[in-house]
Chains A and B, each alone.
Chain A
Amino acid sequence: MELTRRNYAALTLATLIAAPARAGAATPGLMVRSDGQPQNLDPHQIFDVPMMGYALNTYDGLYRYQNNPPVLEPWLATGHASSEDGLDWEFKLRPGVTFHDGSPLTAADVVYSFQRVLALNKAPASAFLPILKPGNVTAPDPLTVRFRLDRPYGPFLAAIPIVAIVNAKLVQANEKGGDHGAAWLASNEAGSGAYSFVPGTLTPNERLGMQRFEGHFWGWSDNPSPVARVAMRTARETSTGVLGLMNGSIDWTDSYLPTDQVEQIQSSRVARVERHSSLRTFVIRMNNARAPFNNLNFRKAMAHAFNYDGFIKEILKGYADRNAGPMPNPLWGVPKDAAGYDYDLGKARNFLRAAQADGVNIRQPIRIHIQSQLEQTNQAAQLFQSDLQSIGVNLRIVTDTWANIVTSTGSAETSPDMWIHWVSTYFVDPENWVGQMYDSQFHGTWKASSWYKNPEVDALLGRARGLVKQAERAPLYEEATRRVMADCADIWVYNTVELRGVSNRLSGYRFCPAGGGSELRWLQLKG
């Protein structure tokens, strides 16, 4: 049969319109995620929230955090023992674990993984560099790994889940010019996790495919209908992700849903919002090394001028928990007796007067840097601006980016007057918050960008770091936190309630603050 041009056009049109069902129809067995992917796929180069979303599924660690509040549970390891002085650690491995290529996972792979993290010296290394030399990780037998630390380090066990165990032989085979296989692993995968990366499906930052690993050591008997395939399709605008959730083309968004979209999703029949208290604090930083923030009364005036309840209730629609200190409330090491600062413009005025009496020029304009892509930082700054105006403080809002701000926090001179950010859970230990934020040895990193310096606090944190037992460390962190709060080093606002849009096709969602609930193996998928 010969097709005329007109027929052909009509045929094309018909194909388009009579499309396979509705636009957003789901594919059986396939789950589509719209949360972001890591900048590259090497878990030893990158360590951030998107990497957790990838690596918790494709790789395994010796231990893994589970539940909320998080509990450290044996994973590849069956258990561990440490010496009395906290210097020697021994981990026993689970037998019979295999990587995705079928080769066995042994102690040699664990040793290689830790040594590789140290050698690459990227983000995941920072917890181990000061206390661990590459040669001090050893494998006396295929199922035993030993660590000898340079000095006792309390957070060591808490940091163990950071290191993903990679297939040593596979990575070594792809080394190029002494790069430890960094170029290769950036777009490939060498893990043993519950899901494996599907080669050829990667467009960095756009799309990535994973499929279930039948031979995962945990087994699948606890999950009658696991997700078979995972398509990661980054949604740059959260609103697009939400729309996709509502029309069925996306099953899972990131966990930072804007609160105004929560009701919209909740009222739909196809999806719901998973709400979980996390360990992620929202902080307004003050540069304690610079006037007027080098004055305690001025800092207190600022802390009393932020409308915490208004921000949480009105802007965040209540989806956050007031957190008056630097440590997330559910964590150990939080001083239960420390009240923190409340919103009271009367008190703020009094402290401002006191600051003025100290010789502080309260009229000088101060600048707060917000992160252009994170609307909440802007909302907080604007709320703050209007209250400060009413007590005569001139706050200017500067739109900035993460990369810029972090660069500027390299020195006290270039650090912003104020800026806003979150502190996520990288490892579940007070060290992740009060330790790295207020010990002056970390000056020059973004986490310590308030340039707070108190020798007593330094000493307390140093001692706590050198102890292993939680019962001994806790009072030290509590005391350090109390003092930091008394010094009003920053303005601590809330602890996050993570909000993730999840399709009703998925059940069995498990949330753990470390990793933000992105471990997919527990999920059950219908249809």
Chain B
Amino acid sequence: MAGFVLRRVLLVLPSLLGLLIVCFLLIRMVPADPAVALAGDNATPAQIEAIRRSYGLDQPIHVQFLRYLEGVARLDFGQSQFSSRPVAEDIAQRLPATLELTMAALLISVGLGVPLGVLAAVNHNRWPDFVLRVVSVAGVAIAAFWLAIMLQMLFAMQLGWLPLRGQLSAGLTPPPGPTGFLLLDSLLVGRFDLFADALRHLVLPAVTLSLGGLATITRFTRAGVLDTLQKDFVFYERASGYAPRRLVWIYVLRNSVAATVTQIGLLFGGLIAGAVVVESIYDWPGIGSYTVQAILTADSKVMLAVTLLVGLIYAVVNILTDVAHALIDPRLRDRA
């Protein structure tokens, strides 16, 4: 198992390098000149040229790339051309917010999607199944921004139960915690008021972000459970008088989640992408809104670093997915 993980980790490095090269070329193919955007509204051509030189944008592309790579090897991702801050610092400040959001969304997607999928399968072709099938198609089809606005109108405006936007009420100061995760830090420093406030802010974005995943997880779990219910061993287990709940939720479910686990892995990447939209609507100070800003202002260092980060997250999640598969199914363990 350890060897298996190590092999996978080593395979990640060339993939990430390839990813970087492709992105580097793509970003250079976009006509927007970061120096122009950087120079501001009233800049003269001479000013723009000076900026281009000072950022090394006048060098041949392979030189620029090698310089960049050299930096990356030292975990230096360069400076954001706009905030004039190290990209690594910006990302470190924002990543926890995105992870908090995506984790919460994933928790909702899986925590609700798996039971709902099981419920649909167990009631195959009866009304709970029909309802859930309609809902899960809708879940994929509904645009996140539309849902977000509906949720905002209902819960923030009409009912006033939940905050409209942001990660924390404006009057509160985030805890000076060690992890950067707002929820975790506020617990660590014992500020339960901050925790509750942050949690309330998390609800709507997380629900919005979770919807697509919820639908996917429900569908795949339903299909998996339906498939398993046809298996001989399920008949044997029923004939052996297993308790009905334990039969479904333990013995059937564990056999049915292989595809769901794969989906959860894919979903995580999708959630990061979805966070771009959701963070923009709810003004969530994470990587997603940062990336949008970077694209609009042609901030190439940020785009590269974010791409690398997302690639890395994908790779790690992929490895975790494989490990999870092996943990669930002993036959894969023996094969590896």
Residues in A lying within 8 Å of B, measured CB to CB: 15-17, 19-20, 22-24, 27, 30, 32, 39-40, 42, 45-48, 121-127, 129, 182-183, 186-187, 200-201, 203-207, 231, 233-237, 239-240, 243-244, 246-247, 249, 373, 401-404, 406-408, 410, 424, 426, 436, 442, 444-447
B171 close to A (CB within 8 Å): yes
State which of A46, A203, A406 has its C-beta within 8 Å of the C-beta of B36.
A406
Q: Count of A-B contacts with CB under 8 A?
A: 179
- Once A47-B40, A249-B163 are accepted as A-B contacts, the answer to whether A236 and B156 lie under 8 Å apart by CB is no
Task: Chain A residues near B200: list those with CB within 8 A.
Answer: 16, 19, 23
Query: Is B192 an interface position by the 8 A CB rule?
Result: yes
A127 CA to B170 CA, complexed, in Å: 38
Task: Give the residue of A16, A20, A182, A406 whose beta carbon is less than 8 angstroms from that of B199.
Answer: A16
Given A183-B84, A231-B170, does the pair A48, B40 have CB atoms closer than 8 Å? Answer: yes
Whether the Cβ atoms of A403 and B298 lie closer than 8 Å is yes
Nearest opposing residue in chain A for B38, CB measure: A122
Query: Among the listed stretches B119-127, B222-230, B256-264, B285-293, which one makes contact with chain A, having 4 or more residues with CB under 8 Å of it?
Result: B285-293
Instruction: Tell me if A187 and B85 are in contact (CB < 8 A).
Output: yes
| Contact status B40-A122, CB under 8 Å | yes
CB distance from A98 to the nearest CB of B (A): 26
When each residue 193-207 of chain B gets 1 if its CB lies under 8 Å from chain A and 0 otherwise, what string results? 100110110000000
Stretch touching chain A among B43-51, B103-111, B135-143, B317-325:
B43-51
B65 interface residue per 8 A CB criterion: no
CB pair A32 B170 closer than 8 Å: yes
Q: Is B297 an interface residue (CB 8 A)?
A: yes
B296 within 8 A of A: yes
A24 touches B156 (CB 8 A): yes
A236 lies within 8 A of B283 (CB): yes
A122 to B79 Cα, complex, angstroms = 17
Interface pair A123/B43, CB less than 8 Å apart: yes
User: What is the interface size of chain B, counting residues whose CB is below 8 A from a CB of the partner?
Assistant: 62
A126-B46 Cα distance, complex, nearest whole Å:
10
B157 on the A face (CB < 8 A): yes
A23, B156: Cα distance in complex, Å = 7
Task: Name the distance in Å between A444's Cβ and chain B's nearest Cβ.
Answer: 4
In the complex, A32→B296 CA distance in Å?
25
Asked if residues A187 and B83 are in contact (CB atoms below 8 Å), the reply is yes
Which residues from A are CB-within-8-Å of B37? Answer: 402-403, 406-407
For B50, what are the chain A residues with a Cβ–Cβ distance below 8 Å?
A: 121
**What is the CA–CA distance of A491 and B269 in the complex, to the nearest angstrom?**
46
A250 to chain B, nearest CB (A): 8
B285/A207 in contact, CB under 8 A: yes
- Encoded as 1 (CB less than 8 Å from any A CB) or 0, chain B from 139 to 171 comes to 000000000010011001100111111100111
A244-B44 in contact (CB<8A) = no
B233 to chain A, nearest CB (A): 33
Q: Quick check: B196 and A16 within 8 Å, CB to CB? A: yes
Q: In the assembly, what is the distance between CA of A233 and CA of B283, in Å?
A: 8
Q: Are A203 and B43 in contact (CB under 8 A)?
A: no
Are B173 and A201 closer than 8 Å at their CB atoms?
yes
Q: A204-B85, A235-B283, A236-B283 are in contact. Are A23 and B45 (CB under 8 A)?
A: no
CB atoms of B94 and A249 under 8 A apart: no
List chain B residues, Cβ under 8 A from A182.
84
In the assembled complex, the Cα of A410 lies from the Cα of B32 at a distance in Å of: 11
Extra contacts besides A16-B196, A404-B32 (15): CB < 8 Å: A15-B192, A24-B164, A27-B171, A30-B170, A39-B83, A40-B85, A42-B84, A121-B47, A186-B85, A206-B285, A240-B152, A402-B37, A403-B32, A410-B48, A445-B44
